[in-house]
Amino acid sequence: MSRRPRRNHTAVFKAKVALAAVKGEKTLAELSEQFDIHPNQITQWKSQLLEGAAGVFGEARADQIAPVDLKALHAKIGELTLENDFLVRHRRKRRPAKHETWSRVVNPTIEECRWHRGRDFLGAHQPVF
């Protein structure tokens, strides 16, 4: 028995199937045979239709994303880029301690960068994660 290729259904088709299921004129088995879809898929589409039906009449969705202030995000990206460039530039200029090698100074691990950044900017003596 060969597997059937995965099918992508359009939103119109899903709505048609879900509305037929909501009407209740046919059983799930009859609908699945008519539309050639598994009964679990019909039940899932029906529940999605019922959950989203309130949004059709103007009620705001609970999971809508708040508007994003792009200027603030671009400013933060610029600030972090400058900070990163500064830290990389000054990290490469310093000489290694006795227990360090040049490769650790030039290419530090992420943990080391976090530790130095937290120590320098927050005045902490412990690693800041």
- Tell me, what's the pLDDT at 60? 57
Long-range contacts from 71-79, C-beta under 8 angstroms, 24+ separation? none
- Tell me, what's the pLDDT at 5? 83
> Are the C-beta atoms of 115 and 104 separated by less than 8 Å?
no
- Tell me, what's the pLDDT at 46? 93
- What does DSSP assign to residue 125? S
User: Which helix (H) or strand (E) element contains residue 104?
Assistant: helix 102-106
Give alpha helix (H) positions in 39-109. Answer: 39-56, 70-93, 102-106
- Does the pTM exceed 0.75? no
- What does DSSP assign to residue 61? P
- Tell me, what's the pLDDT at 57? 75
Q: What angle do CA 110, 113, 120 make, to 5 degrees?
A: 155
pLDDT tens across the length of the chain (129 residues) = 678 788 899 999 999 999 999 998 999 999 999 999 999 999 999 999 998 887 777 765 555 667 888 999 999 999 998 888 887 777 666 665 665 655 555 555 555 555 455 555 545 554 444
